[in-house]
Amino acid sequence: MDAYYMNGAGNDFMVIDARGLELDFSALALRACAVNGADGFMAVDHSDIADFKLHFYNADGSRGEMCGNGARCICRFAYDMGIAGENMVVETDAGLVYGQRLSEDQYRVRLNTPGILDLHRKGDIAYVELGTPGVPHAVQLIPGLTWDDKEALHDAARKLRYDPAFPKGANVNMYDWIDESTIRILTYERGVEDYTLACGTGSASTAVVLWLNGKVPTGKLTVENPGGPLTVTISGKNGQVTDLTLEGPTEIVGRYSI
């Protein structure tokens, strides 16, 4: 079976076309991600309510509700493989996600709006789930954060990932401001159990927290991940997010037999 190795701002995945196949996705995720240390595994399947269905699994074989960069990559995969057109609808465990091809490598997805949002789940640490059920995210301001701090922050991030305040566990997003419209972020992801080069839903969850706190007045935030920049755009009213999009690069790196 062929698996395509892809990444979105450095967040990397092994991807297969599984339409019409009966497969053990958890076992495949473990095997495929071990080939090159990918963060996650994705399979395209038939859907009765969308252009196709996304099965997403973390590198440890656990199923994930959704993945923002994964969704952008799967949209490129679907377009390049002739599965869908330039505008598409993706069925995920967190709900329907709408994708759009902007150019050969740039893709935008309309993410699920927050199903759970608690700005003070653990002191000043916020908790966000995009969709229902959604990917769980903790959001924490770390003044002066640089990516060189990742080893010094590793133990604290891992401890927070398992904190009882987050019953499902949580991806831990640590951020600081670069300027009034740009943040730097570092994300420790459950299922990978380490930092990733980028996290789409983490970037979007962090942007939502900042928007609700009145710190993204334009509704547009650039999120600098170690693997590259992502753009999050938010609109809403009365403190409710009504539209949330994630935009950034995608890349098909190679193809492997698994």
Under DSSP, the state recorded for 226 is T
Q: Do domains 2-104+250-257 and 114-248 have the same CATH topology?
A: yes
199 annotated active-site:
yes
The pLDDT tens digits of the residues spanning 96-109 come to 999 999 999 999 99
Q: Which tokens sit at 173?
A: 């997003």
Q: How far is CA 147 from CA 71, 74, 154, 224, in A?
A: 25, 28, 11, 10
Position 129 scores a pLDDT of 94
Fold designation for 114-248: Diaminopimelate Epimerase; Chain A, domain 1 (3.10.310)
Catalytic position from the list 33, 67, 73, 75: 67
The pLDDT tens digits of the residues spanning 1-15 come to 999 999 999 999 999
Alpha-carbon span 229 to 79, nearest angstrom: 23
Catalytic position from the list 33, 73, 75, 199: 199
Position 98 scores a pLDDT of 97
Q: Is a pLDDT exceeding 90 seen at residue 210?
A: yes
How is domain 2-104+250-257 classified at the architecture level of CATH? Roll (3.10)
Neighbours of 162 (CB within 10 A): 11
73 annotated active-site:
no
Domain limits of the chain? Answer: 2-104+250-257, 114-248
ω into 133 cis (within 30 of 0): yes
Under DSSP, the state recorded for 156 is H
Position 257 scores a pLDDT of 92
